[in-house]
Amino acid sequence: MVCGRVRVTLILILLLAVSMVPLSADSPYRLGVLRGPTAVAFAPVFNSSTELADGRPVEIAAYPDPPSLIAAYIGGEVDSASLPSNAAAQLSGRGVGVEVAATFIWGVLYLVGPAHTSLGELRGPVHSIGRGASPDILLRYILDQEGLASVIRVEYGYAQVELAQLLIAGRVDAGVLPEPFVTRVLRENRELGIVADLQERFEAHTGSGVPQTVLVVRPGDPAAPEITELLRTSVARVLAEPDRTAELVAGLGLGLDEATARSSLPRLNLRVASGRESHPALERYLGILYDFEPASVGGRLPPPEFYGE
């Protein structure tokens, strides 16, 4: 057992060492994004010929899930990454160098249930995804704040793909899902609607939105301002040209068909704020996650430098 722990520790040390090796000037700057809504924000610049001021081309690669992108970031395969904010906090807690360059997705979670029903009218169980994960904590926080925790029973047992299928089939009455699953469920089952926009509910109780997805860089990365500006430019184009964006997303194979990408765009809550600008919202959100489940943010809250201070 001790040997196994030593081996794991050595592997982590080596990975951290690799992640801190400076790149040569002629190496591409590699940005990792997640398939789905996160990649939508970068769709207009995905295959662009953007170069940094030092002449390095920017290469964007899509990853299927947070664990694979996190491994790529730790291993030095990417220089910056778009990650769930609590996953970035977990990396900080593990001693991995991360700094929030920008927050750009402000929540994509919705409670789907019987059409024309309000949250306070629900009496059956609400199915949550991932006990102790951020969507579950967000739901339970809202129920607590609105005095509904003793009225609405939260149940678990389904991942988001299965939960979406059960909602479409009418075998589950209500559940929390992220986009693009919300769009797909509402399209396939016309008896369902959005019972609660969890972002709106959260903001009503905290005064800020849900800083769900962040762009992280390594501390001191001189390219951080340029990558943040690239993100700002891309998001501005997404919001100004939704039809073109949907077409791009479908063509890039990012896990969304054109119709789903177009319909889900208004519910992605895309808005770019720098790490410093989003510091108060991030700190408040991560603090709520920590109060419910410390492990969800890595067992401790990030230091001020995590927010680009």
Strand partners, 110: 177, 197
Q: How confident is the model at residue 308 (pLDDT cuts 50, 70, 90)?
A: confident
- Domain assignment present for residue 79? The answer is yes
Please spell the DSSP secondary structure of 137-162, one letter per residue.
HHHHHHHHHTT-TTTSPEE----HHH
- Domain assignment present for residue 9? The answer is no
Is pLDDT at 46 greater than 80 in this prediction? yes
3-state helix, strand, coil in the chain (%, to 5): 50, 20, 35
Residue 196 and residue 160 in one domain:
yes
Q: Which helix (H) or strand (E) holds 92?
A: helix 85-93
Reading the block at residue 123, the tokens are 């009496």
Q: How confident is the model at residue 197 (pLDDT cuts 50, 70, 90)?
A: very high
SS3 287: helix
**Contact between residue 151 and residue 194 where contact means Cβ atoms under 8 Å apart:** no
Domain end point (choices 182, 206, 230)? 206
- Domain assignment present for residue 146? The answer is yes
What residue numbers bound the domain in which 81 lies? 28-106+211-307
Is pLDDT at 10 greater than 60 in this prediction? no
Region 90-107: what's the mean pLDDT? 97
Domain end point (choices 206, 223, 257)? 206
**Cα end-to-end distance, the chain, whole Å:** 40
Residue 218 and residue 100 in one domain:
yes
Averaged confidence pLDDT in the chain: 91
Residue 85 and residue 161 in one domain:
no
Amino acid at 79: D
Region 124-153: what's the mean pLDDT? 94
Residue 267 and residue 216 in one domain:
yes
Among 21-30, 157-166, 219-228, which is the least confidently predicted range? 21-30
Query: What are the backbone dihedrals phi and psi of residue 156, each rounded to the nearest 5 degrees, phi first?
Result: -130, 175
- Domain assignment present for residue 1? The answer is no
SS3 300: coil
Query: What are the backbone dihedrals phi and psi of residue 80, each rounded to the nearest 5 degrees, phi first?
Result: -145, 165
Residue 158 and residue 194 in one domain:
yes
Range 222-229 contact pairs with CB under 8 angstroms and sequence separation of 24 or more? 223/29, 223/52, 223/54, 223/56, 223/79, 223/80, 224/80, 224/99, 224/101, 226/52, 226/53, 227/29, 227/31, 227/58, 227/80, 227/101, 228/101, 228/102, 228/272, 228/274
Rg (CA), the chain: 20
CATH number at residue 186: 3.40.190.10
Domain end point (choices 206, 238, 262)? 206
Q: How confident is the model at residue 144 (pLDDT cuts 50, 70, 90)?
A: very high
Q: Which helix (H) or strand (E) holds 113?
A: strand 109-114
Is pLDDT at 306 greater than 50 in this prediction? yes
Reading the block at residue 105, the tokens are 């997705």
